[in-house]
């Protein structure tokens, strides 16, 4: 983890915000909506300790959200205004800016309730109910952070807090009506291509067709595919994503019952305070309502894609693999392609859509293989995939967790390809 997170008790006027999200970031059930962990062999003691710390550090980020967000988004800004000359301070106050910041403070506290609920839903009883006895929860929280600090661990890292902010935006993309257009443009072509591959099979008979969605994020693409009758499994590595998807899939009883304010930390490129403070309600579709639940299975698995699906027990198991904004998360894309090849049945189809924002490009201490689009496609052919040239698309203009009301918009010119593993 990079970047220690200090208490910020002495907030400074300056650039204390998290870096703006310029791109997508994939950090890496149903019926019972279970999240399965795939373990191939027993982990070593050091691996187990690393796994425990990985989970603890993500939990710490959720629990530290209120302190971090208030220090960085609120108190620092109020301090900057307080340091203005009195005439300037009065002018700023007359604009409603101070009232806006204090309103954002209240909404951060509302977001914090959601963060606590997410952790509580995944804690298997180890965390007391945050809505229960306030004294008991406060003491547990105090002990949690004292234990981390006593073990020499960060309270939370800047990179983890950035991922947490990004997770809030993923709620918008995957599970809100506001994200419907982004999903239509991104998930729509993938689902259409998948249905085209199996157009001769009625939805109620597609349960025997098994579809894998690596890098599933919060699970909406996998869910939407299952709603077309396919037995679908999403795979995710990031604990941020796993905690959030577990919450939305397993703790939602009604449509739009949860609320998140994902844009209150963003003070640049904002047209109006209403845009910044707007509520987003989730989920816009109830995960338990699946039209073909009697015939199609839905699940989410936790684990590294290569380790899980490169294993012998996953060999030639899947009829289709759908990758969306995923292939560029690889350190070594050859290993990703080998894993897809291993998991696909002969005659199976791989459908891909996304950009090539290689995630480990120029990251200190990380190995990374970066290919152009053309090199990527040539590599896949060398590894045996047969592409359907008629279904190839370039310059597919997409966004990723975009704030539709922001004055700044980033777009990707992605590509889509459909390939088969020959029989």
Query: pLDDT digit string (tens) for 64-78?
Result: 999 999 999 999 999
Q: Does some domain include residue 17? A: no
Q: Does some domain include residue 29? A: no
Q: How many domains does the chain have?
A: 1
- For residue 13, is pLDDT > 50? no
Mean pLDDT of 334-342: 99
| Band (202; pLDDT cuts 50, 70, 90) | very high
Q: Which of 1-5, 55-59, 333-337, 375-379 is least confident?
A: 1-5
Higher pLDDT, 53 or 186: 186
d(CA 343, CA 341): 6
d(CA 239, CA 27): 8
Q: What is the structure's pLDDT at 38?
A: 52
Q: Does some domain include residue 311? A: yes
What residues make up the domain containing 310? 35-420
Average pLDDT score, the chain: 91
Q: What is the structure's pLDDT at 29?
A: 35
Q: Does some domain include residue 16? A: no
Mean pLDDT of 186-209: 98
Span 75-110, pLDDT tens digits: 999 999 999 999 999 999 999 999 999 999 999 999
CB-neighbour burial class of residue 131 (10 A; exposed 0-12, middle 13-18, buried 19+): exposed
Q: What is the structure's pLDDT at 8?
A: 27
| CATH code, 275 | 3.40.50.150
Q: Which of 280, 272, 261, 274 has its CA nearest to residue 105?
A: 261
Contact assessment for residue 379 and residue 351, using Cβ atoms and an 8 Å cutoff: no
The owner of tokens 């590509």 is 415
d(CA 175, CA 181): 12
d(CA 103, CA 105): 5
Q: Does some domain include residue 15? A: no
Q: Does some domain include residue 27? A: no
d(CA 62, CA 240): 9
| Band (47; pLDDT cuts 50, 70, 90) | confident
Q: Does some domain include residue 1? A: no
- 30 secondary structure, DSSP code: -
Mean pLDDT of 151-159: 91
Q: Does some domain include residue 181? A: yes
Q: What is the structure's pLDDT at 41?
A: 55
Q: CB-based contacts of 92: which residues, under 8 Å, 6+ apart?
A: 81, 84, 98
Looking at the DSSP bridge assignments, the partners of residue 189 are: none
């Amino acid at each position: 983890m990079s970047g220690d997170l200090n208490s910020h008790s002495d907030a400074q006027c300056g650039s204390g915000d998290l870096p703006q999200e310029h791109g997508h970031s994939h950090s890496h059930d149903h019926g019972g909506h279970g999240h399965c962990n795939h373990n191939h062999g027993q982990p070593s003691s050091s691996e187990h300790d690393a796994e425990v710390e990985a989970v603890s550090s993500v939990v710490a980020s959720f629990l530290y959200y209120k302190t971090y967000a208030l220090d960085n988004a609120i108190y620092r800004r109020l301090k900057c205004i307080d340091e203005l000359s009195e005439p300037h301070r009065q002018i700023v106050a007359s604009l409603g800016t101070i009232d806006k910041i204090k309103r954002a403070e209240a909404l951060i506290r509302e977001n914090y309730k959601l963060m606590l609920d997410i952790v509580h839903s995944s804690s298997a009883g180890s965390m007391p109910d945050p809505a229960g006895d306030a004294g008991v929860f406060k003491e547990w929280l105090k002990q949690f952070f004292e234990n981390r600090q006593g073990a020499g661990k960060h309270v939370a890292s800047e990179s983890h807090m950035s991922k947490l902010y990004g997770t809030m935006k993923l709620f918008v993309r995957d599970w809100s009506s506001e994200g419907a257009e982004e999903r239509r443009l991104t998930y729509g072509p993938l689902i259409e291509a998948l249905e085209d591959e199996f157009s001769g099979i009625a939805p109620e008979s597609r349960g025997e067709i098994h579809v894998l969605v690596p890098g599933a994020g919060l699970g909406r693409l996998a869910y939407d595919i299952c709603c077309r009758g396919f037995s679908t499994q999403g795979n995710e590595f990031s604990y941020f994503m796993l905690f959030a998807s577990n919450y939305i899939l397993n703790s939602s009883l009604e449509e739009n019952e949860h609320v998140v304010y994902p844009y209150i930390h963003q003070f640049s490129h904002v047209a109006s305070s209403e845009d910044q403070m707007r509520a987003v309600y989730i989920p816009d579709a109830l995960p338990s309502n699946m039209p073909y639940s009697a015939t199609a299975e839905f699940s989410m698995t936790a684990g590294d894609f290569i380790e899980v699906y490169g294993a012998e027990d996953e060999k030639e198991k899947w009829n289709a693999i759908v990758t969306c904004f995923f292939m560029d998360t690889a350190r070594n894309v050859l290993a990703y392609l080998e894993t897809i090849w291993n998991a696909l049945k002969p005659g199976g189809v791989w459908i891909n859509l996304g950009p090539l924002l290689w995630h480990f490009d120029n990251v200190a201490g990380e190995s990374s293989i970066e290919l152009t689009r053309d090199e990527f496609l040539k590599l896949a052919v060398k590894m045996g995939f047969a592409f359907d040239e008629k279904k190839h698309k370039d310059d597919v203009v997409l966004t990723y967790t975009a704030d539709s009301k922001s004055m700044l918009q980033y777009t990707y010119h992605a590509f889509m390809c459909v390939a088969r593993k020959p029989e």
